[in-house]
Amino acid sequence: MSSTTGRKSERLLNLLIMLLVQRHYVSKDRIREFLYPDASTEAFEKMFERDKEELRSLGVPIEVGNMDAYFDDEPGYRVRADRLSLPDIALTPDEAAVIGLATRVWQHARLADATTDAVRKLTALGVEVDESALDIAEPRLSADEPSFDVFWEATQERSAVEFDYRRPGAPRTTTRHLQPWGVVRYSGRWYVVGLDTDRGQERVFRLSRVEGEARRTGTPGSYDVPPGTDVRATAVRLAPAPSTGEAVVLVRRDAGIALRTDAVAIEADVPGPDTRTAWDRVRISRGSQGVADELLGYGSAVYVESPAELRAEVVDRLRAVVDGVEVAS
């Protein structure tokens, strides 16, 4: 990842965290002191306005209000956790700098480090923080996709990637070469979209079907993404169509934020498989294809009620882990 992209990504992440974890409006001077200490007044104004717009374009509701309720003084800024609901992010190369805002990758190790660093800096400055506000970003990256790092970084650097890929039903893997344009989540799975240089055509690959270690090849900046490319639209067009129907799962209270965001209906305080926490019944408009990977990532925080084939798939894969047997997804 380039140093410029990395700095911008960290700055955006820190801005989101700074506005999210504080209970009151934050002044512009305070924001400048924390996030833009070396910028001139003119540079700060430009960067701050641009960063605010990038966050808002991702659905972050940045509020503007008076620092003092009794005086019309300098405006302050904040993000209310109860109004924040981040959408899935289609990671084109130009958007990759804000990867930290994608709710489904917040628990990724690199971003978790950045989150910890941001909170530590705020605390060191004597800022009162509410770390519980970060619970809205609870969803995590599935452990079935260890190649995520390589593809994510390659989209930012515009570096080609070589990897071994097993197609559904294929007896063995084949080595593929791709110029990745972006990474996107679709129907509960992660996909990489790009140009297959062996075939000279755009292709989409499911990350959970990458076997072994993906490898970046060539030099950074060795290709350009075609103008006007919509990574999400390409993934939807080329990836297998998701199953239709409804899945019903029990979710522990204060868990499964992404599932709740996608929910058709939520029934609170229902009987669950244990009494350690309260449970909610969440209905999501998905069939069994694709959702099993996502549900497995939540571990004991979810319990599948229906459909029967989804429950059977989840149970079989959990038993396979216990028994030490690999089951193909």
Query: Any bridge partners for residue 184, and if so which?
Result: 191
Which residues of the chain fall short of a pLDDT of 70?
Answer: 1-9, 57-59, 67-73, 82-145, 168-170, 187-188, 241-244, 262, 286-290, 293, 320-329
pLDDT of residue 9: 66
pLDDT of residue 113: 53
pLDDT of residue 286: 63
Concatenate the DSSP letters of all residues of 168-233 into one string: TT-SS-EEEEEEEEEEEEETTEEEEEEEETTTTEEEEEEGGGEEEEEEEES-TT---PPTT--HHH
pLDDT tens string 12-51: 778 888 888 777 788 888 888 888 888 899 999 998 988 8
pLDDT of residue 33: 85
Q: Are 154 and 92 in contact (CB under 8 A)?
A: no
pLDDT of residue 232: 84
